[in-house]
């Protein structure tokens, strides 16, 4: 197969831990041709969506992990699969890219994850589709509603809807002396919609990343365990990643969501689960494949490439 990866600039990827690089290497190991391009290299002439792409030779050397062996302008229909792996933010340019990818899809290109699903599954708001699995949650821009939620649940997490890697996440208790200021800043004085969730004490045991590939959960999750004095478990916020077998509850959630995710065209998904509760549905560029493989020997990238075959 010819497989194209839409990713961030190659030179900036950290090959030793990047899940997209891990998938590229797995594809090359299986004899597939690997191509890379950036979202801004997509273009349309009439109803034909093409891109300037580079064919890569992959190596195990993390300092020199790729070599460009060819370059070409190719219609996306020339590839057997195109994986959209650009990192957030999900801004206007990302949105435009999904529309171009959607047009390519109507011409026969295979896009993973499905462009419509990328638009429909905001990584914070998507949990509202599966409310029975979530901690009490509020989405609003209204200051009074946020304050009422804090009063009701006493201890809550506030997060912006476009954040990633643990950015702009605050824990607020009902008696926090900075409560008013935090809520004002988070909502931009009532002008920005945010999410509030009841605090889940099980975060101390880790914010679990559960990978669901082609509707089926991978057997191990990565627990992102907060460092001392920190609420957030995100690796980008200093959390420690520990691979663990799925608990019965994590498997229950993943297996319940799997058929819907697959039906909606989401082949690669990272569920975030804390304790008994689903907290996010990550669909843009879910990570943690490398850490799970290195610690538990479970190869999620292999499952991805198999799903494309």
**Catalytic: which of 113, 224, 234, 291?**
224
Architecture of domain 202-308: 2-Layer Sandwich (3.30)
232 tagged catalytic:
yes
Let me know: does 69 contact 56? Beta carbons within 8 Å.
Answer: yes
Q: pLDDT tens-digit profile of 31-57?
A: 999 999 999 999 999 999 999 999 999
Taking CA atoms, 249 is separated from 78, 133, 255, in Å, by 42, 10, 10
Tokens encoding 264:
């909606």
For helices 289-296 and 300-308, give the axis angle rounded to 10 degrees. 120
191 tagged catalytic:
no
pLDDT at 166 over 70: no
* Averaged confidence pLDDT in the chain: 95
Residues 69-91 have a mean pLDDT of 96
Tokens encoding 268:
């690669």
pLDDT for 236 equals: 65
- Give the confidence band of 163 by pLDDT, cuts at 50, 70, 90: confident
86 tagged catalytic:
no
pLDDT at 230 over 70: no
CATH domain 136-199 topology = Dna Ligase; domain 1 (3.30.1490)
pLDDT for 226 equals: 85
pLDDT for 233 equals: 61
Predicted model pTM: 0.94
**Catalytic: which of 207, 232, 250, 291?**
232
29 tagged catalytic:
no
pLDDT for 168 equals: 79
- Give the confidence band of 232 by pLDDT, cuts at 50, 70, 90: low
The percentage of the chain sitting over the pLDDT mark of 90, rounded to a whole number, equals 91
pLDDT at 68 over 90: yes
**Catalytic: which of 113, 122, 234, 282?**
282
Instruction: Out of 78-87, 137-146, 167-176, pick the least confident.
Output: 167-176
Residues 217-231 have a mean pLDDT of 87
Nearest by Cα to 182 from 137, 218, 143: 143
User: Domains of the chain: which residue ranges?
Assistant: 2-115, 136-199, 202-308
CATH code, 2-115: 3.40.50.20
For helices 300-308 and 19-29, give the axis angle rounded to 10 degrees. 60
280 tagged catalytic:
yes
pLDDT at 228 over 80: no
- Give the confidence band of 86 by pLDDT, cuts at 50, 70, 90: very high
**Catalytic: which of 18, 209, 250, 291?**
209
209 tagged catalytic:
yes
């Amino acid at each position: 197969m010819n497989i194209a990866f839409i990713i961030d600039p190659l030179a900036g990827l950290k090959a030793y831990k990047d899940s997209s690089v891990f998938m590229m290497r797995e594809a090359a190991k299986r004899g597939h041709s690997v191509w890379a391009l950036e979202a801004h290299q997509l273009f349309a002439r009439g109803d034909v969506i093409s891109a300037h792409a580079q064919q890569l030779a992959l190596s195990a050397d993390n300092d020199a992990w790729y070599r460009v062996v060819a370059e070409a302008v190719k219609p996306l229909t020339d590839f057997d699969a195109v994986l959209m792996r650009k990192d957030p933010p999900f801004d206007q340019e990302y949105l435009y890219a999904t529309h171009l990818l959607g047009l390519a899809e109507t011409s026969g290109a295979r896009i993973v994850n499905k462009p419509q699903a990328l638009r429909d599954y905001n990584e914070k708001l998507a949990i509202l589709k599966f409310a029975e699995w979530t901690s009490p949650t509020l989405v609003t821009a209204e200051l009074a509603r946020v304050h009422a939620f804090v009063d009701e649940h006493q201890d809550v997490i506030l997060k912006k809807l476009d954040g990633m890697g643990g950015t702009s996440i605050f824990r607020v208790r009902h008696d926090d002396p900075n409560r008013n200021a935090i809520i004002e800043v988070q909502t931009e004085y009532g002008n920005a919609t945010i999410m509030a969730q009841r605090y889940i004490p099980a975060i101390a045991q880790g914010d679990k990343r559960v990978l669901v590939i082609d509707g089926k959960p991978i057997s191990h999750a990565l627990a992102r365990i907060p460092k001392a004095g920190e609420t957030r478990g995100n690796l980008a916020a200093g959390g420690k990643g520990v691979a663990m077998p799925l608990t019965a509850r994590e498997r229950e959630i993943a297996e319940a969501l799997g058929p819907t995710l697959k039906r909606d065209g989401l082949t690669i998904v990272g569920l975030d689960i804390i304790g008994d509760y689903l907290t996010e549905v990550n669909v843009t560029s879910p990570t943690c494949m490398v850490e799970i493989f290195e610690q538990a020997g479970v190869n999620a990238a292999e499952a991805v490439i198999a799903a494309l075959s």
